[in-house]
Chain A
Amino acid sequence: MLHRYPKRVPIIMLALTVLLVFYPLWGPVLIGDGSDFFLEKLTLMLILGLFAMSLDLLVGVVGLVSLGHALFFGLAGYTLALASPSYSAASLWWMMPLVMLVSALAALVIGALVLRTRGIFFIMTTLAFGQMLYYLVSDASFTGGSDGVFIMFKPTLAIGELTLIDLESPLQFFYFVMGMTLLTYLFLHWLIRSYFGQVLDGIHDNEHRMQALGYATYGYKLAAFVISGVLAGVAGMLAAMQYGFANPAQLGWHLSGEVLMMVILGGMGTLFGPLLGAFAYELLHYAFEHLTLYWQLLMGLTIILIVLVLPKGLAGLILDPPRLRLPRVGVGGLLRPRPAASTKARLGLAGHHKHEEG
């Protein structure tokens, strides 16, 4: 019942995916010389989309606002960088499980602690953990201090001598990242609609009630925290591969705040929203950066504006498209009560509408 979206959602998402898949065909025509550079931008957007979806599981589904999510993103980058040999390429078959394991362990330990707090204290403790790791890697010598660690060779993805995907090739890496983001989307899509997801929704709506029914909600929240952390780790690993280094900026509160904005901009709890949110955020960033030196100011204002106009984010725009009919001229037309702003939605029939009451 929950998270049941109209057909246009998968159609739009599929159309956007096809558009991305064929970027090598239309990109050079439309963008010309800059198309290679933009391919890397698109790769980064996909990575951030994956990252934003991982956070959406916490923020949108369980209702836990984390301001330290970049911790897992950055930790994964450092794990990859430090575990990779200096003069040859590592195998992704080893690196990927390693990164996921490290992320899972970190999320388990941190989650076990931060989930004992609630509300504003949860936000504060996640922030504190993020900053702790930030200062640790910024000061320690084995992490290269504020310069970070370089990854000289991207990991290989091969069976024996046969290279499956050449991750050094920007185009192949782009498709690889796209595949990972798609897999993550499908996995979370399934998870949110599973029994487990229903319990998470229940916790979001009313944790006390879930406990009174017999659910040990702490365990469920911890499981969600670990899954979210592992996926954030995958995103962080991909980002480190893309950049070719791991540095402190990849785990600071700045990035944690940005990914939270992507989730809010896209529409919390909808999964496809935060994915779109990451693209929108980065596109805005890209556009404003070229326009003015004060792009951050412009960016902030734009986001405030979007959130004010679209409280449910970009996803809300797709789920409840605003009627573009112009009001009829004349007082009668203007004063007429609006044709029931979706009675169905108000009753909560459409799955995505959160209820206020506890």
Chain B
Amino acid sequence: MSNTPLLSTRGLTCRFGGLTAVDRVDFDVRPGQVHAILGPNGAGKSTLINLLSGELRPSEGEIHYRQHPIHGLPAHRVARLGIGRSHQKTNIFPRLSCLENCRLAARIHLGGVIASWRSRAAARQVDERAEQALATCLLTHRASTPASAMSYGEQRQLQIAMVLATAPTLMLLDEPLAGMGREETSRVTGLLRALRDDYTLVLIEHDMDSVFALAEQITVMVDGRVLETGTTAAIRGSEKVRDVYLGRHQQEQA
């Protein structure tokens, strides 16, 4: 296994006015791994993802992807480099069908609008990739259903399918299981497990069972800072994490 990280940040900081949402974060994602980010509400997890995907500009610090600096690149350039993301809020195009949502995602990575216009082969490639993404996310039977007419869980699946359709190397998923029922959670957890072999995943998730089942590395964030980072087993055993986060989590559930 290679030891050079696929993505790494050094001293990454993001301030909103007086609030430091992400505070000097050093974060390494190794290729082929599932790296989960845990943390209480407001810990800065989504902000971190937004920085990695180029949606936000860091106030300070650096982000390197394949050893190239990417901080300061606009979001669409980051996406073209192979970093796909899904949002915490369901973020699909409700008026388009499932397949059309995925086509929109695939097209830009296969030469864009003009290529699809000009050549039939390019258009077919877009179709194939979109259909494949739907199949992977178990949505083939919904291909022509308008996204708005699907269940919430299916919309979340579609969101993952759209990221897949961009054929990313690294996927940043912000709470893919949020708001799902038990059955949906286990279905999507299975889906994510299947993605493990082909993609590098950064995953924000509150559902502990799923995190422990999926992740190889875990980073725990509190108040914008990294509290602890390590293998799943190490984080499970960490007293510090248990005190600050898991303990609180269990108290909340009790």
Q: How many A-B residue pairs have CB under 8 A?
A: 91
In the complex, the answer to whether B149 meets A349 with C-beta atoms within 8 Å is yes
Interface hub of B85, B95, B109 (most chain A Cβ within 10 A): B95
Within 8 A of A (CB), among B135-186: 146, 148-149, 162, 166
Q: Is the CB of B94 within 8 A of A348?
A: yes
Asked if residues B76 and A198 are in contact (CB atoms below 8 Å), the reply is: no
Question: Is B85's CB under 8 angstroms from A212's CB?
Answer: yes
Q: Which of B5-13, B97-105, B198-206, B227-235 participates in binding chain A?
A: B97-105
Q: Which bracket fits the contact residues of A?
A: 20 to 34
Residues in B with CB closer than 8 Å to A211 are: 55, 74-76, 79
Instruction: Say if the beta carbon of B212 comes within 8 Å of chain A.
Output: no
Instruction: Pick from A1, A199, A205: contact of B146, CB below 8 A.
Output: A1
Please indicate the chain B residues that have their CB under 8 angstroms from the CB of A357 in the complex. 94
> Size class of B's contact patch?
20 to 34
Cβ proximity bits A303-323 to B, threshold 8 Å, 1 near / 0 not: 000000000000000000000
Structural contact, A1 and B91, CB atoms closer than 8 A: no
| Contact in complex: A347, B91 (CB < 8 Å) | no
Are B146 and A198 interface neighbours, CB within 8 A? no
Of residues 5 to 59 in A, which have CB atoms within 8 Å of B's CB atoms?
none
Q: Are A208 and B113 in contact (CB under 8 A)?
A: no
Closest chain-B Cβ to A346's Cβ sits at a distance in Å of: 9
* CA distance in complex: A212, B177 (Å): 20
B94 near A355: Cβ-Cβ < 8 Å = yes
Given A1-B95, A2-B95: A208 in contact with B146 (beta carbons within 8 A) = no
Cβ-based interface call for B191 (8 A) = no
Which residues on the B side are within 8 Å of A63 (C-beta)?
none
User: A206 with B91: in contact, given A213-B79, A213-B104 (CB under 8 Å)?
Assistant: yes
User: A214 in the interface, Cβ–Cβ < 8 Å?
Assistant: yes
A353 in the interface (beta carbon within 8 A): yes
User: Which residues of the partner chain B approach A213 to less than 8 Å between Cβ atoms?
Assistant: 76, 79, 84, 104-105, 108, 162, 166
| Interface residue? B248 (CB, 8 A) | no
Residue B225 interfacial (CB < 8 Å) = no
Asked whether any CB of chain A lies closer than 8 Å to the CB of B129, the reply is no
Pairwise interchain contact B117-A205, C-beta atoms closer than 8 A: no
Interface status of A342 (Cβ within 8 A of chain B): no
List the B side residues contacting A354 at CB < 8 Å.
95
Compute how far the CA of A216 lies from the CA of B79 in the bound complex, rounded to whole angstroms.
10
The reply on A300 being an interface residue by CB < 8 A is: no
Given contacts A195-B117, A199-B113, A347-B146, contact A216 B94 (CB under 8 A): no
User: Is B93 an interface residue, CB under 8 A from the partner?
Assistant: yes
* A351 close to chain B: CB less than 8 A: yes
Asked whether A214 lies within 8 Å of B108 as measured between CB atoms, the reply is yes
For B146, give the chain A residue with the smallest CB separation. A349
**Pairs across A and B, CB under 8 Å, 19 listed:** A1-B95, A195-B113, A195-B117, A196-B117, A199-B104, A205-B94, A208-B55, A210-B76, A211-B55, A211-B74, A211-B79, A213-B105, A213-B108, A215-B108, A347-B146, A348-B95, A349-B148, A355-B148, A357-B94
Given A212-B87, A214-B79, A348-B149, 18 additional A-B pairs, CB 8 A: A1-B95, A1-B96, A194-B117, A195-B107, A196-B113, A196-B117, A198-B100, A208-B75, A211-B76, A212-B53, A212-B79, A213-B166, A215-B76, A348-B148, A349-B149, A354-B95, A355-B94, A358-B89
